[in-house]
């Protein structure tokens, strides 16, 4: 049974909870359990969207430094690969994921949130990539995803200095999408996740893939892929329902093929 990561399903939303007090430090075992939880959530039909969070006090304060301080290159490769695989899976899976950030999301914790589709930050949250102060750099995609979200200047600033950014600045920098009162953060994320879970899942998955294409293969390749994804949605149950509901002037009731 998992001990450090828990998956619970609530009204179509898979809640992936990091549970390694006091700081949710990211160990090898936590990364392994996280990857397994995400794989399960991705394969379950009763999960239409995901919310990641670390509890009411903090999201994740970074790597377990005591565990990695004496590792060599082979040892650290396993560590960073497990976390990186979890981040890559979050980014690639067709289901929308929302990081509900409370307290600190630093280092590997922030990298995990960056791999989500959306980031909702509590108004007292703090994010950052402090690895440079430890003599290393982000290793699970942090420098890349900050650049995609906020541009190379912001990525250089945060990565070179290791400084920590409070919620309002993080929003201004486009590192998070919403800032929410701390006592409302989970419900805000859950409310939107439920909407995604009940929505036209195939269309949402296509939108996610198209937007990812704009990041990874911008220009004609990404535009061409968007067109093909649009075409492929015609004939699906959700496309038929959505358009018929529009014509009939009623709310659509989406399901899956």
Structure token digits, residue 143: 């420098």
Please, what's the b/e burial string for 116-147 (b: 16 or more CB within 10 A of its CB; e: otherwise)?
A: bbbbbbbeebbbbbbbeeeeeebbbbbbebbb
**Cis peptide upstream of residue 22 (ω within 30 degrees of 0):** yes
Which of the following is catalytic: 33, 82, 91, 111? 111
Three-state DSSP string of 45-89: CCCCEEEEECCCCCCECCECHHHHCCCCHHHHHHHHHHHHHHHHH
Residue among 166, 186, 168 at smallest CA distance from 54: 186
The yes-or-no answer on residue 111 being catalytic is yes
CA 36, CA 160: separation in Å to the nearest integer?
33
Answer yes or no: are the C-beta atoms of 138 and 113 closer than 8 Å.
no
Which of the following is catalytic: 25, 49, 61, 63? 63
Phi, psi of 152 (to 5 degrees): -65, -35
Torsion of CA 182, 190, 212, 63, to 10 degrees: 50
Which of the following is catalytic: 12, 108, 128, 199? 108
Residue among 75, 134, 70 at smallest CA distance from 108: 134
Angle between helix axes 73-92 and 28-43 (nearest 10 degrees) is 20
Structure token digits, residue 181: 């009162």
The yes-or-no answer on residue 63 being catalytic is yes
Which sequence positions are flagged as catalytic? 63, 108, 111, 131
């Amino acid at each position: 049974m998992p001990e450090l990561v828990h998956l619970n399903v609530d009204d179509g939303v898979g809640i992936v909870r990091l549970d390694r007090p006091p700081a949710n430090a990211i160990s090898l075992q936590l990364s392994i359990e996280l990857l397994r939880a995400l794989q399960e959530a991705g394969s379950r039909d009763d999960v239409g969207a995901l919310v990641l969070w670390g509890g009411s006090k903090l999201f994740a304060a970074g790597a377990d430094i005591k565990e990695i301080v004496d590792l060599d290159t082979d040892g650290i490769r396993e560590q960073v690969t497990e976390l990186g695989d979890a981040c890559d899976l979050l980014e690639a899976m067709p289901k929308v994921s929302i990081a509900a950030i409370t307290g600190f999301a630093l280092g590997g914790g922030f990298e995990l949130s960056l791999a989500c589709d959306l980031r909702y930050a509590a108004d007292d949250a703090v994010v950052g990539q402090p690895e440079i102060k430890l003599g290393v750099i982000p290793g699970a995609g942090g420098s890349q995803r900050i650049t995609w979200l906020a541009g190379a200047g912001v990525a250089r600033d945060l990565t070179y200095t290791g400084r920590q950014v409070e919620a309002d600045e993080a929003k201004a920098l486009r590192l998070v999408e919403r800032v929410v009162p701390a006592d409302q953060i989970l419900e805000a994320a859950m409310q939107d996740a439920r909407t995604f879970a009940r929505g036209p899942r195939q269309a949402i998955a296509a939108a996610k893939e198209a937007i990812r294409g704009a990041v990874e293969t911008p220009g004609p390749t990404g535009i061409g892929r968007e067109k093909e994804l649009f075409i492929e949605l015609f004939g699906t149950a959700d496309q038929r329902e959505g358009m018929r509901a529009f014509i009939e002037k009623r709310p659509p009731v989406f399901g899956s093929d």
